[in-house]
Amino acid sequence: MTSKRFSGMCVLALAALGLVCGRAQAQFDSPVEKKWTVQEKDDKGEVKDVLYMSLDGVLVHETDPAKAPQPRVVTPGTPSTQDQAGTAPSDAVVLFDGKDLSNWSADDGKKTKWVVEDGAMLPTKDSGMIRSKGEYGSCQLHVEFQTPTPVEGEGQGRGNSGVFLMGQYEVQVLDNYENTTYPDGQAGALYGRKPPLVNACRKPGEWQCYDIVFHRPVFDQDGKVVKRATFTVFHNGVLIQDHYDLSGGNGWLGPHAVTDYVAHGDKGPIMLQDHGNPVRFRNIWLRELAD
Ligand code: MG
């Protein structure tokens, strides 16, 4: 190869690299990043080039509150123990604090048959699902639950309940402590679509918790999903769903199928399932999030 031809190929290769880099850069259109240099005197009076940078027009390390407002102050809640439920953060919507079911109704909007016992709420025979009176979209949701003792049943029949976001996207509740079932139906599964990353169940009779970060799906005018729901879930502090992009609805259609996405509004209730097992719940709160 001649040196002229070789250098020509290098120019082409560099141009191609530039195109690739340009494309990679173009994928990240937010935040808009700008950099510039200003000559400034340092403490010793020497003039130096100082690099400045802004993200979406706000200077890095900006201190003017008009340009970079301070984050809102939230007083954290207290953690729960096995003997006592904790409390919610100061900006949370408290759905159940162990006292009453005033924030809840039956699925049909009538008075629920669920009851409160020793600071926990639980279904009674044939009480059906319970739903929050308030409706919510994207949110951070904290729920504590306790599967029953003595243990009865196996597989899906043991300590089955569920936490339903927007009344339809289920994070499964099940007693999977030394109890196996199909992975996409076990505790912490996004029912029928995504098993949890690990099984972090405590023993039946022990209090457990889910901390869920949910972003609702978004639909266009034709009812087509244009942004899928995402779930991040911690089970007893262990990450079990890592910003998972839900591929469709997870209502039960039969042994081997679940629902597709069906367009719905921006908000829906939090619902808890009555699957015929006396699973107890306590300390339920949420914080609404931007989509
Ligand atoms: Mg269930």
**Ligand 1 centre from 201 Cα, in Å?**
15
Q: Over the stretch 108-139, which tens digit does the pLDDT of each residue have? A: 999 999 999 999 999 999 999 999 999 999 99
- Determine the distance separating the centroid of ligand 1 and the alpha carbon of 163, expressed in angstroms: 8
Residue span(s) of the chain under CATH 2.60.120.560 come to: 93-288
Tens of pLDDT, residue by residue over 254-282, are: 999 999 999 999 999 999 999 999 999 99
In the block, residue with structure tokens 């209090």: 207
In the block, tokens 């908000």 appear at 267
Average pLDDT of the residues in 201-205: 97
Q: Which of 154, 171, 151 is nearest to 232 (CA)?
A: 171
* 91 Cα–ligand 1 center, Å: 29
In the reported structure, the alpha carbon of residue 70 is separated from the centroid of ligand 1 by a whole-number distance in angstroms of 41
| Mean pLDDT of the chain, nearest integer | 92
* This prediction's pTM: 0.88
Class of domain 93-288: mainly beta
Measured CA to CA, the distance from residue 19 to residue 75 in angstroms comes to 49
* Confidence category of residue 241, pLDDT binned at 50, 70, 90: very high
25 confidence band (pLDDT: 50, 70, 90)? low
In 3-state terms, what secondary structure has residue 278?
A: coil
What is the arithmetic mean of pLDDT over 175-202? 97
Q: Does residue 183 carry a pLDDT above 70?
A: yes
Cα 92 to ligand 1 centre (Å): 25
Distance 88 CA to ligand 1 centre (A): 25
pLDDT of residue 4: 53
Distance 182 CA to ligand 1 centre (A): 13
What pLDDT, on a 0 to 100 scale, did the predictor assign at position 29? Answer: 84
Give, in order, the Cα–Cα distances in Å from 164 to each of 221, 230, 272: 25, 14, 6
